[in-house]
Amino acid sequence: MSHLLELRHLDKRFGGIHVTRDVSFQLAPGDRLALIGPNGAGKTTLVNQISGVFPADSGEIWLRGENVSRLSQAQRVRAGLARTFQITTLAPHFPVQRQIELALFEREGLGGCFWRGIDSFPALQAEARALLARFGLQGQAATPTQDLAYGEQRLIEMALAMALRPQVLLLDEPMAGVPKGDGERLLAALDVLPRDLAVLIIEHDMDLVFRFASRILVLAEGAVLADGTPDEIRRDPLVRAAYLGHGEATRHA
Amino acid sequence: MNALSLFKTRALASPQDGDGDAASPRCAPAWRAPLVMLALGLAACLLLPDQLGLLTRIFIMGLFVLSLDLVVGIAGLATLGHAAMFGVGAYAAGVFALRVMPDPLVGLAVGVLAGAVLAAATGAFLLRYQGFTFLMLTVAVAQMVLSLAHKARDWTGGDDGLSGYVMGPLLGQFQFDLEGRLAAFYALAVLVVCFYAARRLVDSPFGMAVRGIHENRARMAALGTPVYRRLWGMYAAAGALAGAAGALSAQTTAVVGLDSLSFSLSAEALVMLILGGAGRLSGALVGAAVFLVLHHTAASINPYHWLFVVGGLLMLVVLVSPAKAVAWLRNRRGGRA
């Protein structure tokens, strides 16, 4: 099986609302898939199902040739899946470096280790610092996370996901709410993601989507409206009508 | 959160490298606070030989509140049923002394085990819930344990309490004396060891994961943390310490009553924890000491109104966070200099 991630006929309802309708797609190593669609299309709900926050009603999720549909969130992370959150989800009082170390301990299976101090893992500490340096955050290693600028907290979301060394990365609006100036570091971080990593990104900034993605999947009312290369999506009359709508105007919105 | 605020102050104090790299955050050594605690405790015992009973009680309650801090301050789970573990530890140690053997240290181990087993068993169920549901279920579990103890008269003595056992010599040679000297030193020694163990636990990768869950459950789950299992581990550890406190109480007073399982004990421990500040372990000890000294002195002045003072203090502590108080003090000092 060459796909890293495969969704098969995923379906989910919240009460009377059909939030995911028969969604199927695959991700291969190196894919850059952008998931776009109007607000309420079910993009984040889909990411939550893939990462295991809640189960789908029907359909299957396969990760690296294994059916993970019934696995817990933690087990899926260990199988190579990492995600970021649209709304910054961090431990606010933790110093930045500790935050990264949390991810490293968990990745190394040390989360249950109660007999050693957290300062007795120099290799992991060095790795945490190297990772922070990669994101330009080495100066804030000891700063409580909540004291960082919002754009920097978004970077930590990414750094935490990368600390897990995933094979599939789900980015839920990494640029959400980031002022234009601060966006540069995030864009740079996106550009240097490992080549063979499969990335699914939810993003509203169409410039970024068309620059970053090798494939675009359009979601509307929980169903896949279109799936193709950026050029195909741009020309798709259905997508233009439903989402891109006013052509150039929204692209720069 | 203390460890966290410790990180913070240390980080602020640490020099910056030439490259603008901040120093790594570091924990304070785990032995430091327990050692200070030991020195203070010994000094108190030597300077106040007439108050050994009160001091012993402070050490024991301090240990109990410390264990509560692991649940409330570290894991972020509000509980009003923590006395269940204390009482079970006390009854286990008492029954063991009465029926099996009077050795204090073996009895202490039995109490620790009883507390841990009860916490592990009830936690397996309780920890599936959060917030208010969890809080109410802890009350329910504690009430059930209380009524079981009430019914099992043959073992617990019911309303009359469990008594009639005499503790053997500590380590086979030190007899418990009438003034309670040995009892005080024994309780202090156990407290210091448990304080050290708790400090180590909280500053381990496991403890940090639990604090991470307290701060943000969704984030930890996304990092691959088995949230439920981590909380369960911390809950069982807290149960062990509460059991130790209960065993100490049974051994130093030579009586176990139903009040050791009561709701009011759980609630009082929570008040002590909030008074001293939750989440920093040492706050638990400060809170227990302040509460019990206040109880002791204020109650002897006016036995009916001492709770008024406690209520006022509690209000002050809750409304003025320690962080704000420290900032205010620093500002004033800075303004004068």
Question: Tens digits of per-residue pLDDT, B149-203?
Answer: 988 888 888 788 888 888 778 787 788 777 788 899 999 999 999 999 999 999 9
Q: What is the reported pLDDT for B7?
A: 36
Q: Which residues of B145-184 are buried (b: 16+ CB within 10 A; e: fewer)?
A: bbeebeeeeeebbeeebbeebebbebeeeeebeeebebbb
A122-129 long-range contacts, Cβ below 8 Å, gap at least 24? A125/A97, A125/A101, A125/B24, A127/A163, A128/A97, A128/A100, A128/A101, A128/A104, A128/A163, A129/A97, A129/B21, A129/B24
When the pLDDT of each residue in chain B is averaged and rounded to a whole number, the result is 86
Please compute Rg for chain A using Cα positions: 19
- Please list the residues that pair with A62 across neighbouring strands: A6, A67
Inspect the interface and report whether the beta carbons of A125 and B24 lie closer than 8 Å: yes
Inspect the interface and report whether the beta carbons of A85 and B222 lie closer than 8 Å: yes
| Fold held by A5-251 | Rossmann fold (3.40.50)
Nearest chain B alpha carbon to A85: B219
Task: From A172, A165, A173, select the one nearest A193 (Cα to Cα).
Answer: A165
Inspect the interface and report whether the beta carbons of A138 and B203 lie closer than 8 Å: no
Whether residue B84 contacts residue B239, with contact meaning beta carbons closer than 8 Å, is answered with no
Q: Which residues of A touch B21 (CB under 8 A)?
A: 129, 133, 138-139, 141
Strand A32-36 with A81-83, pairing: unpaired
Nearest chain B alpha carbon to A52: B222
Nearest-angstrom CA–CA distance, B206 and A112 = 5
Mutation target vs B (from A114, A135, A145; most B CBs, 10 A cutoff): A114
Q: Residue B210 pLDDT > 50, yes or no?
A: yes
pTM: 0.88
Q: What is the reported pLDDT for B322?
A: 64
Collect the ranges in chain A with pLDDT lower than 50. 247-253
Backbone angles phi, psi at B320, to 5 degrees: -110, 105
Nearest-angstrom CA–CA distance, B21 and B7 = 16
Q: Residue B8 pLDDT > 90, yes or no?
A: no
Q: Residue B229 pLDDT > 60, yes or no?
A: yes
Nearest-angstrom CA–CA distance, B141 and A5 = 44
Backbone angles phi, psi at B107, to 5 degrees: -60, -40
Q: What is the reported pLDDT for A128?
A: 93
The beta-carbon neighbor of B205 closest among A91, A97, A105 is: A105
Q: What is the reported pLDDT for B21?
A: 66
The beta-carbon neighbor of B24 closest among A74, A115, A129 is: A129
Q: Residue B1 pLDDT > 70, yes or no?
A: no
Alpha carbons within 13 A on the beta-carbon side of A49: 31
**How many contacts does A have with B, using Cβ atoms within 8 A?**
149
Domain ranges for chain A, please list them: 5-251
The secondary structure element, H or E, covering residue A215 is: strand A215-220
Nearest-angstrom CA–CA distance, A157 and B160 = 59
The secondary structure element, H or E, covering residue B39 is: helix B32-47
Q: What is the reported pLDDT for B101?
A: 86
The beta-carbon neighbor of A91 closest among B204, B215, B224 is: B215
The secondary structure element, H or E, covering residue B187 is: helix B181-202
Nearest-angstrom CA–CA distance, B86 and B82 = 7
Structure tokens at B206: 């496991």
Alpha carbons within 13 A on the beta-carbon side of A66: 11
Backbone angles phi, psi at A54, to 5 degrees: -140, 155
Residue B20's pLDDT band (boundaries 50, 70, 90)?
A: low
B224 residue type, one letter? G
Query: Residue B131 CA to chain centroid, in angstroms?
Result: 21
Q: Could you read off the pLDDT of B98-145 as tens digits, one per residue?
A: 888 888 999 999 999 999 999 999 999 999 999 899 999 999 999 999
Whether residue B152 contacts residue B162, with contact meaning beta carbons closer than 8 Å, is answered with no
Q: What is the reported pLDDT for B308?
A: 80
Q: What is the reported pLDDT for A96?
A: 92
Question: Is B15 at the interface with chain A, CB within 8 A?
Answer: no
Q: What is the reported pLDDT for B335?
A: 53
Q: What is the reported pLDDT for B18?
A: 39
A-proximal residues of B, 42-101, CB under 8 Å: none
Whether residue B64 contacts residue B269, with contact meaning beta carbons closer than 8 Å, is answered with yes
Cα distance from A117 to chain B (closest Cα, Å)? 4
Residue B3's pLDDT band (boundaries 50, 70, 90)?
A: very low
Q: What is the reported pLDDT for B152?
A: 84
Inspect the interface and report whether the beta carbons of B25 and A97 lie closer than 8 Å: yes
Q: What is the reported pLDDT for A245?
A: 56
